[in-house]
Amino acid sequence: MDVREFRAGDGVAVRAFWEASGIRIRPGDDDRSLAAFAERNPGLFLLAFDDQGLAATALGGWDGRRGWLYHVAVRADERRHGLGGRLVRTIEQRLRERGCPKVNLIVWNDNAAAMEFWKANGYTRATTVEFEKEL
């Protein structure tokens, strides 16, 4: 498995991968936003490849107060082999090294498998409610 950072030109492939993984494409997933995210978060926007192509993605963000995880996804035939957990731990370690004390993430409330995955990785369900607004 070859893990590298997002590069300009990866946008079409990662969006197709996310759609195939059941991840909704949302504001912030266009090429310009992904490139800006990668630039602001060096070492945290990870893509894993095997001989079949893109096998997993994981985006870590650090805003100076909180770490954030987005779009952790593993190709269906590679699931339950530890790849998702490995990428998450890599990002957590890099966030720790930047001084990040806490990581947040959002799970859609119909995604029971993802909730199990996050629990298995030491995450606890928050009691907060998300609010949002498109600009």
Task: Name the site residues for ligand COA (rule: CB under 6 A).
Answer: 21-23, 72-74, 79-85, 107, 111, 113-114, 116-117, 120
Residue nearest to ligand COA (CB): 84
Closest CB to ligand COA among 62 and 118?
118
Give the sign of the dihedral formed by CA 133, CA 109, CA 68, CA 59.
Answer: negative
Q: Report how far Cα 13 is from the mean position of its chain's Cα atoms.
A: 15
**Which 8-state DSSP code applies to residue 10?**
-
Closest CB to ligand COA among 13 and 39?
13
Q: What is the nearest approach in angstroms of ligand COA to the Cβ of residue 73?
A: 4
Asked if 47 and 6 count as a contact pair (C-beta separation under 8 A), the reply is: yes
Q: What is the nearest approach in angstroms of ligand COA to the Cβ of residue 51?
A: 17
Closest CB to ligand COA among 41 and 57?
57
Residue 47 corresponds to which amino acid?
L
DSSP-assigned beta bridge partners for residue 50? 53
